[in-house]
Amino acid sequence: MSEQQSQPSNMNTSGATVNGHSNGSNGNGVQAVSQASPQPINPFAPRYAQIVGWGYHVPEKVITNFDLEKIVDTQDEWIRTRTGIEERHVVASPSETSATLGIQAAKAALEVADIHPSKVDLIICATSSPEHIVPSTASIIQDGLGATNAGAFDLSAACSGFVYALSMARGHILAGDAEYVLVIGAETLSRIVDWTDRATCVLFGDGAGAVLVAASDVPGGITASVLGSDGSGADLLTVPAGGSAMPSSLETVSSGGHYIKMDGTAVFRFATRVMAEATRQVLGKAGLRVEDVDLVIPHQANVRIIQNSVLKQLKIPEEKVFVNLQKYGNTSTASIPIALCEAIEAGKIHPGNNLVFVGFGAGLTWGACSIKWSVPVAKPNETWWRNTARQATYQAAAARSMWKRAIRRVYSQFPAESRWGGRKEENELS
């Protein structure tokens, strides 16, 4: 099991606070308004959306290219030279799901930020392999974290989802609607991949990455975003069945309609074009030139896409582009946050750096965010009492969830408007 646990941010040195709110301070000096007693936002105070926590989690089980040679007609050499991928992590048991991976990544991000889950206002889970069509994976993560003051929703923009979600988090924070937003990319793509289709099964992997975005008065953070879509390419990368257009049936199951279908060459062409364009556009919006970029963290799908777009078209040197897809394959929405964590671990990100996150995916969709990294990445003094409080909350969250389910089962025996089935009792649950 691999989990990003170190490199906490410590905003004390930069003195970040949230627009004059004093209740609910974390160890990073970022102060958030408490949900219990919300304070009015000062519309004239400067407000920025800073990434203050980050974490990832991947399943233990690894499938190498050589393992795949035993499953489908493929070769390690073909996969490495055409994609750059050498191995990928996949879930091994039914107890590992997109939500459980997302919960682990989110816990790691909260630990880095040293923030209690009750401070989180909103959880956005970008995912291409949600637990269910309904309810959202984000709500399951919210319950697992004990983030009792958070709203939660899933965001569906395929592999561009993390960049989309980051843009939503920024908007929500700049509008004054949230102080802390958890943005998670979580995937168990191995469950929707056709393990007999060599054109797709070699590409994808499972994992989750998360960042905590906080309101701050320190200039920088997520400074600009660009989002795009071209639905005329919807059929180029799709899981055709299981939605309202093609409901599940014996036929959809027997024809493999619930697996990923892809026109790889068309997606490759599209990706190469939009990665460069989106990067240029977001830099333009942020008032930066290509030369100002310190590190690009692209969606980790295929090293040739990255070479043909970011390196060749934008002429960004290799050392300014972070690539880790050889270890994880394409983890869709999780690829950029996992790469961010590893870039931090590798010492490639420092306060003052200009970063670009750029992604593309089914839809077709694409997106880019420009980030002025403003948070120290050095480990702060340990705040054991906050850590203890978080761990206790996680334990309590599981018990609370079980208790609420049990109580609901009891109430469900009574008519909804009766003394025992009515609203009063439901309210008592929360």
Q: Of all residues in this chain, which one has the CB nearest to ligand COA in the complex?
A: 264
Position among 302, 331, 333, 393 found at the interface with ligand COA (CB under 6 A): 302
Neighbours of 82 (CB within 10 A): 16
Residue 330 appears among annotated catalytic residues: yes
* C-alpha triplet 17, 152, 137: angle, nearest 5°: 130
Q: What's the gap between Cα 207 and its chain centre?
A: 10
- Minimum CB–partner distance for residue 224 and ligand COA (Å): 23
Give 290-356 as a DSSP string: GGG-SEEEE--S-HHHHIIIIIIIT---GGGB---HHHH-B-GGGHHHHHHHHHHHTT---TT-EEE
Which region, judged by CB under 6 A, interacts with ligand COA, from 41-49, 115-123, 248-256, 267-275?
A: 267-275
Between 31 and 190, CB nearer to ligand COA:
190
Which region, judged by CB under 6 A, interacts with ligand COA, from 38-46, 184-192, 213-221, 266-274?
A: 266-274
Residue 264 near ligand COA by CB under 6 A: yes
Position among 14, 83, 223, 238 found at the interface with ligand COA (CB under 6 A): 83
Window 305 to 364, contacts with ligand COA (CB under 6 A): 330, 361
Residue 192 near ligand COA by CB under 6 A: no
Q: Which residue has the tokens 């170190």?
A: 6
Cα–Cα dist 206/328, whole Å: 8
Helices (H) and strands (E) in the chain, counts: 13, 14
Residue 341 appears among annotated catalytic residues: no
Which region, judged by CB under 6 A, interacts with ligand COA, from 55-63, 214-222, 257-265, 279-287?
A: 257-265
Residue 223 near ligand COA by CB under 6 A: no
Of the candidates 32, 33, 27, 23, which has an alpha carbon nearest to the alpha carbon of residue 10? 27
Q: Which of 26, 302, 330, 354 is catalytic?
A: 330
Q: Which residue has the tokens 């070479």?
A: 307
Cα–Cα dist 341/7, whole Å: 9
Residue 190 near ligand COA by CB under 6 A: no
Between 240 and 422, CB nearer to ligand COA:
240
Residue 227 near ligand COA by CB under 6 A: no
Query: Which phi-psi region, left, alpha or beta, contains residue 373 (left: φ > 0; alpha: ψ -120 to 50)?
Result: beta
Q: Examine residue 189 and say whether the peptide bond preceding it is cis (omega within 30 degrees of 0).
A: no
- What is the contact surface with ligand COA in residues (CB under 6 A)? 74-75, 78-79, 82-83, 159, 198-199, 202, 237, 262, 264-265, 267-268, 271, 301-302, 330, 361
Active-site annotation, residues: 159, 299, 330
